[in-house]
Structures are given as structure tokens and as C-alpha cells.
């Protein structure tokens, strides 16, 4: 389809209308010519001989009659070794390289190759001549950082591929042919390490999709114990501004027990990305001892970068995440924030003059959000191993009101809901996940009945607290008052966690089970004190000691001493 | 190619439509009519139909107006000659100075590559304890002041501008009352800061389209100074007027409104401006302070709400004071660990005590009995408001911290303060008992 061109007949913001002659397909990529520049754009609607394209760049300077070249390809990303530790924009342009070429500012119309073409990778073949393989089965592998990066039969391969020729061990660039494969029609094709995949199409080259059941430890206590996330599951974090969505996501990206983290900074502040960008290379991953950056890919399309590319960025991110899943790795995708992505859809829809749905979001908002979260999941690969993509999306509801369309559409399709509340963040209770409103459908790493009884204490304690506001402390019975203190205790020593403390910031699964066991026993225990003042004093002491306990390294002398102190405090009153 | 078109097809609001060819998107045109000459910008192309937004407003534009396309997009002159000058939103001189037209630069340029930004690390000293101590302003931060109409946000902006140690001040006024414009001009002039200031002022009586240009022009100029290594402070007041101007144009263009009539791209439009705040790797910086008035004192109104998601914190101005609750500087952690050892402890300790004071006030108003502790809190809270929160207080950070310790010592026993004992040993005033007596 080379040489298929059209000409512009209308410009409205980042939307151009193009008259074309040949065949054009939906979501096909086109380049609008502006002098020397070629501005990337995507077909979003076709009407008769006119196609509407959203341009991924500023459209200033385009005029009627300017040429648009259609490529015949859908918006695609490059997959291959060299993606880890990279920083891309929403269209997979590597930002550091772009800075080298263009200086301080992003320059429109400049597109670079996502994967370096001159780097050589040490390839070890595993397939043999004559092997019959299908899409996504291994041909060999190369080392990439801490992983064995699988080189696979291209995901789009139809039917079986017979290995005709395979390269001997040695170093190759991503574009060099490493195997010749014959398809069912007898045609022989060259295969390189690099393959391209359209971002809006899910990768489905696996044996079967499984139910997510295994917990993913994020090391945030309130999440892992109360509102757990499963490997291959999905969750969302809605919250008003300033409630700590981004801090929570940053903590998770550092400490979560997964192999690869893909961060999609979608329409948010550039400053936050910069913190990740500059700090991650300095931080070590406790699991591997290497820099955190070696397991991270950042897709960054901040709020001032072109809106249409923002929409593409979440798809780019999920495609890269799925690629590493195909190597039997556990991948976590953090999208901050999906509301900005939904707003990008709204802007496009508005320019297309589509009939608006609620709050002017397009009517297809729900199905688009559902389609995105459905790309998460745990799968059994063709070699029997499993890999997963877990998706955590933050949502920024207008006015902090969870009734708005994006939050509601998201809640329908995720497995866990971590709702952040303004009241908790104002009271400096972090993480500000509301323990009464949030929920999760995944299994916790502590036994369910323990979680249930702890949640009952929280609920009942909260009820007593509400009542006390009306009748005062003097109108509350000692029994109820103790229940209230228990709930407050659980909240301050377990639900709250100090993100800036070296030990308290991340609690491993084993420690959570251990500490929660202690707390559970305490919550179950009847407390024998003579009056409210004594009860308050006791819980002050307990809170102080447990907080110190949280700050002590597990297994240290300090840890044991504090545990003894706590046991003694509890023994005295029961 | 100086072709002149003189048939206007339609006029709606400030947008006129003509039929023309060879026109490019965002190109400028000159519209000459009996009402005078004005610039206009192409905002939509549809076949040979060209929609133009007329900067001076379409009032008085006749159907036979002459439209001449200039072949370039909007740009502003940039040189050191800008300093000390005052311009309109359309970048024409508002003072009686000469017209500048050298070193033209584009406005609304591309965004900064995130890989070229650095983590901000320098504090901006303002002399206002509520900012310096409790919500430290950081160079390259973008921070709005949320206030009801009638709050003294403009004097506050002017004060910060005068006291902050920056090289260049750029004031972007949108929908400013003429009095406020004169206030800014006179204040800057009296303090001698006018010579390092550039003002782009759109007053409430100027054409609304010029209001839209103010942030872009101000920030484009700021960017050039920052690239020369200057530390630039940009004041934008009032961004709600800018958003309202956008709403007006969007509705004229028959765009589908999203929330309370505002266009669906409000977030992106505001972000494109605020994100110009930057600390360049190997060059200067841009700090943005903006005023955002909250219609009906409602923080969930689309303008403050979207702003809050974009900016790095906010100052709430209420009853002439910066409220400690709700106000937030997201970047303060980056600098307040390096100022003085007691800074962070004083910051959180004093606020927690003030929160307790607020509870006591509530209890008092409900007629509950005041305990000894309550009495102490009442004394503390009342002095805290007077000595720390009052906007007339103007002292450097170190003095404010010392004042904080003295205030605590006058009201409480050391252990009641809740501060770490190590700091108490070092900083608790030794003569406290005497002053307290």
C-alpha cells in the first residue's frame, strides 16, 4: 500500500480531516507533511472519502491541501531486548536520546528508534532445525540485565513454523536475522530479535488464561493484609488531589515483589516522573541487589505533552508489560492516572463531535476502560510456565467525588478498590486508603477469619467514635470505649505506615503475618482496666511500643526486646 | 503573498469566518475594519472556510472588513529591553514606551523533555512564616493561591515577588481590575523592582481574547530568560479568568462543554501552562505562582479542582491568612531537611498543636468545661495566629523558628510539645520560665 496519500481538507485542534483515494483502515498510522517535518497521526474515523486523524503533535502550521502519507500499519511498538531501564514517551521515543538530539525541548516530528540498533546481544539458540513451533515459543534467549530475555516466534505468526535455519551462539543486533522459519504455506521468512506489535491489540499467544489467586506482596500493610492484590489481578486507586495516590504508586513501584515494573506516567506532573527518573538508578532492588532501574520501564507522557499521544501511552505500556509476561515473568503495570487518559478520549470525542455521554465523556468510555484492564491477567504459557501482568491504575475523580463516570466504569472491572479519602489524608493518616470503603476480591496473605474480625473491630470502633461525638466520652460505656481504642490502635500501628522510614516503609509478607498475629490476639483479648483514663494510658503505651516495634528490623535484638515489652503490657491487663 | 480578503461570511462572538486558501492552522491575520485594526488567529480550517479569533473582539467588525494573512503564528519580541516595560495581553505597549519588534519568539512552544529536568533543590525565601516554615516554596515549583474573591491574594503575590530572591519577575494579569493593575505597578515601582519586571496585563475591560494570550506570552518570555540562566518568577493572576475566557470561546465555537460549561480540555490547557515551570539541567528556572479565585469558595469547582491535580500543592487564603490545613507544598520535603535541624519538627509539631487548639475551640463553643490543658491550648492558638499566621509578619526563616520555640516555651512544658527530646535539649529557650511568669 506504499504511496497511498491523501490531502488535508480540515484542521481543528489536533484533529485533521483528510480526503483520500486508496484504501485506508481504522487506526492506521499516517504522517502529515509539514515542510521537512512528518507529523505522526492515527485514523480515528472514516466517513466516505474523508478520514479524521488525530495528530500526536501540535498542528500549528498545517494547511488545506497539505499531504498525508498513509502507512498501512496500525500504531505499533518495537519489542525486543533493550527495553528495560528505558524512558520512553507515549509513542516509544526514547527520551534521553531525544534530549541528546534536540536539547531542552521536545521537537515535533522527531521520531527515534525505540531499541538501539548498534547494541549486540549474546544469543543462545534453544530451538533446533526441524522443530515445529507456534507463535511465542522460544527460539533462544539473550541476557538482559538480570533476566534471560526470550527470543520468540513472532506473536502474529499463523499456524506452525518450521525452523529451517537457526543462528549459532554469538552476538547479534536486534535487526539481524537469527532464524529462518517456514510457514504452513511453505514460505520461508527471516526472523530477527526485534518484532513489532500493534499496541491496541492484546497479545494472546499463550496456552490459557488462569484465575489470579496468588497474592502479590506490595509491602504496604493495609493493602497486603486488608485489600490484597493478586498476581495478574487489577486494582484501582481513586482519590482527590493531595491524598497520596502518586506516593502510594511510587512506594509500590519500589518494593512490590515482581520481576518487572512498567510505569505509565500518563498526563501527570513532569516533576514526579523526574523524581523516579533521577532516583531509581541510585536505589538498589533488595531482591536482586541491582539498581531498581534495571527492572523498570518508564512510559512518560506528562500533562503538557500532546494529548493524543497520552491516549496511546497506556496502550504502549500494557503492550510492553505483556511482552515480558510472555517470558514467564511477573510484571506490574502502574498507570498514573487513568483519568487523564479518559480525558484524552473525551477531547478526541469532542473534536469528532460525537454525541456525548455522562459529563461529556464518550459513550464507549466503559468498554474502553474494561478492555484496558482486561489486558492484565495471569497466563500459562505454551511451555507450561506462568507469567502475569498486574494492572494498578490511579483515578483522579473531579472534585474527589467517586460517583463520576471514570471511577464508576473502573470499579466495575477491577478486582480491588483502594479508595483514598480526604478525611484520612487531612488527618495525616497515610496511606490514606479508607479501611471502611475499600474492598478486594483477592485472597489475603493472612487467614480470612482474622481479617474479618479485624475489620469488624474497625467498623464497630468507628461506630462508637461517631456516637461519642454526640454523647461525649462520659456517655460511653467502658466496654465501648475500649472497642474504640482498639480500633484506633489497629489503625495507627498497622494501617498507617511511614513511607519515609527505612524499615517501616516496606513490610515483607512474613513480618506482616507475624505482627498481625500479635495484633489479632490483642484485639480478641478482653482488657481489664478500672476506668477510661487507665484504658487510654494503656493504649497510648501499646501504640508507642508497637510503632517502635514497626521501626525495628525484624529479628534484631531491639525487635525482640520490644516484643517482650508488648507481651508484658498485654499480660498485665488480661 | 499579501492577498486581501474582504468578505466575512459570519461573525459569532469574537470569531469571524471567511473563505480563503493557502492558510495554515494558528496563522495570524490582520483584520481591518471601521472599528480599527486588530490581529486575529486561525482556530479552525474546514475546506476553504477559515475561522478566525479576533483579538480585539469582533465588535464593530463589518462584513466587508479586510483580512490580510501574515504567514506566521503569534510571536512576541524578546530582548532585555522588555525589562521595566508594561504590555497588553496582545503584547502591545501599555506604558508610553516604544513598540518593540526585535528577537521575535514563538509563544506556546513545545514542552520540556522530562529527561532534561532536574529535581528542584533551592528554597525560595519569602519572609512569610506560614510559607517559609510550614509550606516552603521551592524554586521551579508551580503553586496556586486558592482564595475567594475579595481575599488579599494580589497583595500577597506582590509581597512574595518583592521578597523572593529571583532575577526576573514576570507578571501576567488576566481580567485584572484597573485598580489592581495600578497597585502592582506602583508597588513594584516604589520598591525599585520594576526594572527587573516585565508586565503583561489584560484588564477586565480589555477584549477577552487577549486574556487567553497572557499566560502563553508571559511564559514564553520567562522561558527565554530561564534559558539564559536566570531565575524567573512568574505571577499569574487570576487563572480563573483565563479559564472563563476559554469557556467563552469554546461555547462560541459550539464545542461540547464537559463540566459546568468548561471545555473538555480544561485540564490539558491549564497543564500546558503550569508545566512550563521547570528547573533546567545547566540553565535557569521558572517558578509559577498563580491566583485562582474559587467561585463560591468551592474547591470542587472545575477550575480549582483541575488546578489542584496539576500544581505542586496550593495555598489556601482565607480570612486574610494562609490556612495551615489544606495548604500544601508538595516539594517542601526536598528542601526543608537542609535548612535547620529543627525545621521539620517545628513544622509538624506546631501544626498538630494548632489542630488541637481548633478542637478545643469547638468544645468551648459547645459549652464543654475547659481543662487546664485546654486553657494552655487556647493561649497557644491565639498567639500562634497572631505571631505566625498573620500576613503582616515579615521575618526570615531562622527568626521564625526561634519565635516558634519561644512561643512553645511560653505556653507548654517541654514534654507537652510532643517534639523529639534531642531537639528540645538543643533549642528549648533556657529563659522560658522567666518569660512565662
Tens-place pLDDT, residues A15-47: 999 999 989 999 999 999 998 899 999 999 999
| C-alpha pair distances (Å), B90 with each of B93, B200, B218, B238, B239 | 9, 8, 11, 17, 17
Q: Note whether B95 and B168 are same-domain residues.
A: yes
In this prediction, residue A430 carries a pLDDT of 86
Number of Cα atoms under 13 Å in the Cβ half of residue A411: 15
Answer whether B310 sits within 8 Å of A274, measured CB to CB.
Answer: no
Q: Which of B280, B314, B335 is the last residue of a domain?
A: B335
Q: Note whether B166 and B250 are same-domain residues.
A: yes
Rounded CA gap, A394 and A280, in Å? Answer: 21
Rounded CA gap, A235 and A418, in Å? Answer: 7
Closest residue of chain A to B310, computed from CA coordinates: A269
Phi and psi of A131, rounded to 5°?
-60, 140
What the block records as the C-alpha cell of A555 is 529479628
Count of Cβ atoms closer than 10 Å to residue A252 Cβ: 24
The radius of gyration of chain B's CA atoms, rounded to the nearest angstrom, is 25
| C-alpha pair distances (Å), A519 with each of A32, A401, A419, A447, A516 | 63, 34, 24, 13, 5
Closest by Cβ to A398, choosing from B271, B278, B305: B305
Rounded CA gap, B382 and B12, in Å? Answer: 56
| pLDDT (average), residues A485-509 | 91
Q: Note whether B69 and B109 are same-domain residues.
A: no
What the block records as the C-alpha cell of B217 is 506570552
B313 vs A contacts (CB less than 8 Å): 242
Answer whether A303 sits within 8 Å of B271, measured CB to CB.
Answer: yes
Answer whether A12 sits within 8 Å of B111, measured CB to CB.
Answer: no
Answer whether A303 sits within 8 Å of B117, measured CB to CB.
Answer: no
Q: What percent of chain A has pLDDT over 90?
A: 74
The residues in A 473-512 lying below 8 A from B, measured between CB atoms, are 500
Instruction: Give the three-class secondary structure for A32.
Output: strand
Q: Note whether B118 and B234 are same-domain residues.
A: yes
Q: Note whether B46 and B99 are same-domain residues.
A: no
Q: Which of B308, B335, B362 is the last residue of a domain?
A: B335
Domain count, chain B: 3
Are A39 and A57 spatial neighbours (Cβ–Cβ below 8 Å)? yes
The shortest C-alpha distance from B177 to chain A (Å) reads 29
The 3 state secondary structure assigned to A55-120 is ECCCCCCCECCCEEEEEEEECEEEECCCCCCCEECCCCCEHHHHHHHHCCECCCCCCCCCCCCCCC
Q: What percent of chain A has pLDDT over 70?
A: 100
Task: Tell me what the pLDDT averaged over chain A comes to.
Answer: 92
Helical H segments across B228-290, by residue range: 239-252, 266-274
A96 vs B contacts (CB less than 8 Å): 115
Answer whether A346 sits within 8 Å of B280, measured CB to CB.
Answer: no
Q: Which of B300, B335, B370 is the last residue of a domain?
A: B335
Answer whether A353 sits within 8 Å of B264, measured CB to CB.
Answer: no
Answer whether A241 sits within 8 Å of B305, measured CB to CB.
Answer: yes
Helical H segments across A525-556, by residue range: 532-551
| Cβ-proximal residues to A381 (8 Å cutoff; 6+ apart), any chain | A136, A206, A207, A326, A328, A387
The residues in A 169-228 lying below 8 A from B, measured between CB atoms, are none
Answer whether A60 sits within 8 Å of B25, measured CB to CB.
Answer: yes
Closest by Cβ to A104, choosing from B44, B112, B299: B112
Rounded CA gap, B263 and B256, in Å? Answer: 7
Answer whether A303 sits within 8 Å of B47, measured CB to CB.
Answer: no
B368 vs A contacts (CB less than 8 Å): 472
φ/ψ region of B417 (left if φ > 0, alpha if ψ in -120 to 50, else beta) reads alpha
Closest residue of chain B to A354, computed from CA coordinates: B256
The 3 state secondary structure assigned to A414-448 is CCEECCECHHHHHCCCCCCECCCCCEECCCCCCCH
A95 vs B contacts (CB less than 8 Å): 113-115
Q: Note whether B227 and B87 are same-domain residues.
A: yes
The shortest C-alpha distance from B244 to chain A (Å) reads 18
Q: Note whether B99 and B235 are same-domain residues.
A: yes
Neighbour-count burial for B71-103, b at 16+ CB within 10 Å, e otherwise: eebbbbbbeeebebbbbbbbbeebeeeeebeee
Q: Which of A333, A338, A415, A336 is nearest to A369 (CA)?
A: A338
- What structural domains and CATH numbers belong to chain A? 5-74 (2.40.10.170), 78-112+207-440 (3.40.50.300), 121-193 (2.40.50.100), 448-573 (1.10.1140.10)
A426 vs B contacts (CB less than 8 Å): 325-326
| Cβ-proximal residues to A568 (8 Å cutoff; 6+ apart), any chain | none
The shortest C-alpha distance from A407 to chain B (Å) reads 16
Helices (H) and strands (E) in chain A, counts: 14, 28
Q: Which of A395, A397, A450 is nearest to A417 (CA)?
A: A395
Q: Which of B293, B285, B335, B291 is nearest to B159 (CA)?
A: B291
Closest residue of chain A to B44, computed from CA coordinates: A12
The shortest C-alpha distance from A453 to chain B (Å) reads 32
Q: Note whether B190 and B231 are same-domain residues.
A: yes
Q: Which of A247, A237, A156 is nearest to A204 (CA)?
A: A156
B114 vs A contacts (CB less than 8 Å): 87, 95, 270, 273-274, 277, 300, 302
Answer whether A271 sits within 8 Å of B258, measured CB to CB.
Answer: no
The shortest C-alpha distance from A457 to chain B (Å) reads 26
Q: Note whether B196 and B208 are same-domain residues.
A: yes
A360 vs B contacts (CB less than 8 Å): 256-259, 264
User: Tens digit of pLDDT for each residue in A356-369?
Assistant: 888 889 999 999 99
Closest by Cβ to A105, choosing from B21, B73, B113: B113
Asked, as a colleague might, if the bond just before A262 is cis with ω within 30 of 0, I would say no
Please say if the pLDDT value at position A507 is more than 50.
Answer: yes
Rounded CA gap, B259 and B304, in Å? Answer: 13
B310 vs A contacts (CB less than 8 Å): 269, 303
Answer whether B312 sits within 8 Å of A271, measured CB to CB.
Answer: yes
Rounded CA gap, B402 and B282, in Å? Answer: 36
A343 vs B contacts (CB less than 8 Å): 264-265, 267-268
Answer whether A270 sits within 8 Å of B117, measured CB to CB.
Answer: yes
Helix (H) / strand (E) containing B212? helix B208-227
Answer whether A105 sits within 8 Å of B112, measured CB to CB.
Answer: yes
| pLDDT (average), residues A559-571 | 92
Rounded CA gap, A345 and A549, in Å? Answer: 48
Are B242 and B215 spatial neighbours (Cβ–Cβ below 8 Å)? yes
Asked, as a colleague might, if the bond just before A431 is cis with ω within 30 of 0, I would say yes
Please say if the pLDDT value at position A1 is more than 50.
Answer: no
The shortest C-alpha distance from B256 to chain A (Å) reads 6
The residue of B25, B257, B302, B363 whose CB has the most chain A CBs within 10 angstroms, and thus the best one to mutate to test that interface, is B25
Instruction: Give the three-class secondary structure for A531.
Output: coil
Phi and psi of B217, rounded to 5°?
-65, -45
The shortest C-alpha distance from A556 to chain B (Å) reads 24
Provide the residue-wise pLDDT of chain B in tens; the chain has 437 residues.
568 898 999 998 889 999 999 899 999 999 998 888 889 999 999 999 999 999 888 888 888 899 999 988 888 999 999 999 999 998 889 999 999 888 899 888 888 999 889 999 899 999 999 999 999 999 999 999 999 988 999 999 999 999 888 999 999 999 999 999 999 999 999 999 999 999 999 999 998 889 999 999 999 999 999 999 999 999 999 999 999 999 988 888 888 888 888 998 899 999 999 999 999 988 999 999 999 999 988 888 999 999 998 999 999 999 889 988 888 888 888 898 889 989 988 988 898 889 889 888 988 887 777 878 889 999 999 999 999 999 889 999 999 999 999 999 999 988 788 787 788 889 998 765 444 43
First to last CA, chain B: 86
Are A258 and A147 spatial neighbours (Cβ–Cβ below 8 Å)? no
B300 vs A contacts (CB less than 8 Å): 398-401
ipTM field: 0.85
Domain containing residue B377: 343-436
Closest residue of chain B to A471, computed from CA coordinates: B368
Closest by Cβ to B111, choosing from A12, A305, A398: A305
Mode of pairing for the β-strands spanning A386-395 and A377-380: antiparallel
A106 touches chain B (CB under 8 A): yes
Q: Note whether B173 and B63 are same-domain residues.
A: no
Q: Note whether B194 and B285 are same-domain residues.
A: yes
Q: Note whether B231 and B279 are same-domain residues.
A: yes
Q: Which of A429, A184, A234, A455 is nearest to A334 (CA)?
A: A234
DSSP state of A509: H
Rounded CA gap, B1 and B71, in Å? Answer: 8
The residue of B264, B296, B308 whose CB has the most chain A CBs within 10 angstroms, and thus the best one to mutate to test that interface, is B264
B169: domain CATH number is 3.40.50.12240
- Please state the length of chain A: 574
A62 vs B contacts (CB less than 8 Å): 24-25, 45
Amino acid at each position: 500500500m506504499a504511496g497511498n496519500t491523501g490531502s488535508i481538507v480540515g484542521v481543528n485542534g489536533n484533529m485533521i480531516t483528510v480526503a483520500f483515494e486508496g484504501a485506508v483502515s481504522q487506526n492506521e498510522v499516517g504522517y502529515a507533511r509539514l515542510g521537512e517535518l512528518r507529523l505522526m497521526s492515527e485514523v480515528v474515523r472514516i466517513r466516505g472519502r474523508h478520514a479524521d486523524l488525530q495528530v500526536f503533535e501540535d498542528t500549528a502550521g498545517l494547511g488545506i491541501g497539505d499531504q498525508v502519507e498513509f502507512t498501512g500499519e496500525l500504531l505499533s511498538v518495537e519489542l525486543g531486548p533493550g527495553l528495560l531501564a528505558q524512558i520512553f514517551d507515549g509513542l516509544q521515543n526514547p527520551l534521553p536520546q531525544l534530549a541528546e538530539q534536540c536539547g531542552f525541548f521536545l521537537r515535533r516530528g522527531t521520531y527515534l528508534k525505540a531499541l538501539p540498533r548498534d547494541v549486540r546481544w549474546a544469543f543462545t539458540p534453544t530451538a533446533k532445525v526441524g522443530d515445529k513451533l507456534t507463535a511465542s515459543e522460544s527460539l533462544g534467549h539473550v541476557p538482559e540485565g538480570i533476566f534471560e530475555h526470550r527470543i520468540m516466534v513472532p506473536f502474529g505468526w499463523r499456524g506452525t513454523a518450521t525452523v529451517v535455519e537457526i543462528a549459532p551462539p554469538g552476538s547479534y543486533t536486534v535487526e539481524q536475522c537469527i532464524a529462518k522459519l517456514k510457514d504452513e504455506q511453505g514460505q520461508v521468512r527471516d526472523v530477527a530479535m526485534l518484532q513489532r506489535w500493534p499496541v491496541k491489540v492484546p497479545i494472546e499467544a499463550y496456552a490459557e488464561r488462569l484465575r489470579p489467586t496468588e497474592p502479590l506482596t506490595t509491602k504496604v500493610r493495609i493493602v497486603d493484609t486488608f485489600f490484597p492484590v493478586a498476581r495478574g489481578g487489577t486494582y484501582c486507586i481513586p482519590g482527590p488531589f493531595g491524598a497520596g495516590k502518586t506516593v502510594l504508586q511510587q512506594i509500590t513501584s519500589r518494593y512490590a515483589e515482581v520481576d518487572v515494573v512498567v510505569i505509565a506516567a500518563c498526563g501527570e506532573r513532569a516533576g514526579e516522573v523526574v523524581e523516579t527518573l533521577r532516583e531509581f538508578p541510585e536505589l538498589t532492588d533488595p531482591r536482586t541487589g541491582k539498581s531498581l532501574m534495571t527492572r523498570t520501564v518508564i512510559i512518560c507522557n506528562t500533562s503538557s505533552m500532546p494529548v493524543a499521544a497520552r491516549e496511546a501511552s497506556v496502550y504502549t505500556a500494557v503492550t510492553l508489560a505483556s511482552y515480558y509476561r510472555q517470558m514467564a515473568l511477573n510484571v506490574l503495570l502502574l498507570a498514573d492516572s487513568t483519568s487523564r487518559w479518559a480525558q484524552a478520549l473525551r477531547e478526541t470525542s469532542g473534536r469528532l463531535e460525537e454525541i456525548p455521554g455522562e459529563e461529556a465523556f464518550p459513550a464507549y468510555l466503559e468498554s474502553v476502560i474494561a478492555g484496558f484492564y482486561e489486558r492484565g491477567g495471569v497466563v500459562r504459557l505454551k511451555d507450561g510456565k506462568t507469567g502475569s501482568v498486574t494492572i494498578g491504575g490511579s483515578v483522579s475523580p473531579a472534585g474527589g467525588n467517586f460517583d463520576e463516570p471514570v471511577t464508576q466504569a473502573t470499579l466495575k472491572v477491577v478486582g480491588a478498590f483502594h479508595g483514598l479519602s480526604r478525611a484520612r489524608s487531612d488527618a495525616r493518616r497515610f496511606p490514606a486508603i479508607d479501611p471502611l470503603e475499600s474492598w478486594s476480591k483477592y485472597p489475603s496473605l493472612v487467614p480470612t477469619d482474622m481479617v474479618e474480625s479485624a475489620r469488624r473491630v474497625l467498623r464497630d470502633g468507628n461506630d462508637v467514635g461517631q456516637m461519642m461525638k454526640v454523647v461525649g466520652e462520659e456517655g460511653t460505656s467502658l466496654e465501648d470505649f475500649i472497642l474504640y481504642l482498639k480500633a484506633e490502635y489497629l489503625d495507627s500501628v498497622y494501617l498507617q505506615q511511614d513511607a519515609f522510614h527505612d524499615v517501616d516503609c516496606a513490610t515483607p509478607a512474613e513480618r506482616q503475618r507475624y505482627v498481625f498475629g500479635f495484633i489479632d490476639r490483642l484485639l480478641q483479648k478482653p482488657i481489664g482496666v478500672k476506668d477510661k483514663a487507665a484504658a487510654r494510658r494503656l493504649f497510648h503505651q501499646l501504640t508507642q511500643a508497637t510503632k517502635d516495634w514497626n521501626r525495628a528490623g525484624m529479628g534484631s535484638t531491639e525487635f525482640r526486646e520490644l516484643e517482650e515489652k508488648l507481651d508484658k503490657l498485654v499480660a498485665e491487663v488480661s | 503573498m499579501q492577498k486581501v480578503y474582504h468578505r466575512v461570511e459570519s461573525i459569532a462572538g469574537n470569531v469571524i469566518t471567511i473563505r480563503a486558501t493557502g492558510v495554515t492552522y494558528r496563522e495570524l491575520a490582520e483584520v481591518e475594519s471601521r472599528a480599527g485594526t486588530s490581529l486575529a488567529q486561525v482556530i479552525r480550517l474546514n475546506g476553504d472556510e477559515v475561522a478566525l479569533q479576533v483579538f480585539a473582539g469582533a465588535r464593530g467588525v463589518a462584513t466587508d472588513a479586510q483580512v490580510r494573512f501574515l504567514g506566521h503564528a503569534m510571536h512576541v519580541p524578546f530582548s532585555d529591553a522588555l525589562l521595566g516595560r508594561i504590555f497588553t495581553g496582545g503584547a502591545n505597549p501599555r506604558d508610553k514606551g516604544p513598540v518593540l519588534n526585535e528577537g521575535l519568539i514563538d509563544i506556546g512552544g513545545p514542552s520540556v523533555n522530562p529527561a532534561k529536568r532536574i529535581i528542584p533543590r533551592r528554597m525560595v525565601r519569602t519572609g512569610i512564616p506560614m510559607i517559609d516554615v510550614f509550606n516552603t516554596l521551592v524554586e521551579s515549583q508551580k503553586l496556586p493561591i486558592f482564595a475567594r474573591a475579595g481575599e488579599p491574594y494580589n497583595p500577597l503575590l506582590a509581597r512574595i515577588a518583592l521578597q523572593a530572591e529571583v532575577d526576573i519577575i514576570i507578571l501576567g494579569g488576566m481580567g485584572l481590575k484597573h485598580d489592581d493593575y495600578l497597585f502592582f505597578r506602583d508597588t513594584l515601582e516604589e520598591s525599585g523592582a520594576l526594572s527587573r519586571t516585565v508586565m503583561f496585563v489584560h484588564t477586565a475591560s480589555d477584549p477577552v481574547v487577549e486574556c487567553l494570550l497572557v499566560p502563553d506570552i508571559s511564559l514564553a518570555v520567562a522561558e527565554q530568560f530561564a534559558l539564559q540562566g536566570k531565575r524567573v518568577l512568574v505571577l499569574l493572576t487570576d487563572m480563573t479568568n483565563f479559564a472563563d475566557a476559554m469557556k467563552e470561546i469554546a461555547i462560541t465555537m459550539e464545542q461540547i462543554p464537559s463540566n459546568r460549561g468548561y471545555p473538555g480540555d480544561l485540564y490539558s490547557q491549564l497543564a500546558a501552562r503550569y508545566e512550563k515551570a521547570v528547573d533546567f539541567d545547566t540553565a535557569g528556572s521558572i517558578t509559577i505562582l498563580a491566583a485562582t479565585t474559587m467561585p463560591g469558595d468551592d474547591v470542587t469547582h472545575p477550575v480549582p479542582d483541575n488546578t489542584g491535580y496539576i500544581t505542586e500543592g496550593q495555598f489556601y487564603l482565607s480570612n486574610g491568612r494562609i490556612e495551615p490545613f489544606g495548604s500544601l507544598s508538595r516539594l517542601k520535603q526536598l528542601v526543608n531537611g537542609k535548612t535547620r535541624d529543627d525545621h521539620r519538627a517545628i513544622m509538624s509539631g506546631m501544626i498538630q498543636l494548632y489542630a488541637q487548639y481548633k478542637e478545643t475551640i469547638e468544645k468551648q463553643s459547645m459549652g464543654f468545661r475547659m481543662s487546664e490543658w485546654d486553657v494552655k491550648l487556647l493561649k497557644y492558638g491565639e498567639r500562634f495566629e497572631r505571631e505566625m499566621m498573620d500576613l503582616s509578619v515579615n521575618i526570615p526563616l531562622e527568626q521564625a523558628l526561634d519565635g516558634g520555640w519561644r512561643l512553645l516555651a511560653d505556653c507548654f512544658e517541654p514534654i507537652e510539645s510532643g517534639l523529639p527530646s534531642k531537639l528540645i535539649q538543643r533549642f528549648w529557650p533556657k529563659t522560658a520560665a522567666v518569660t512565662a511568669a
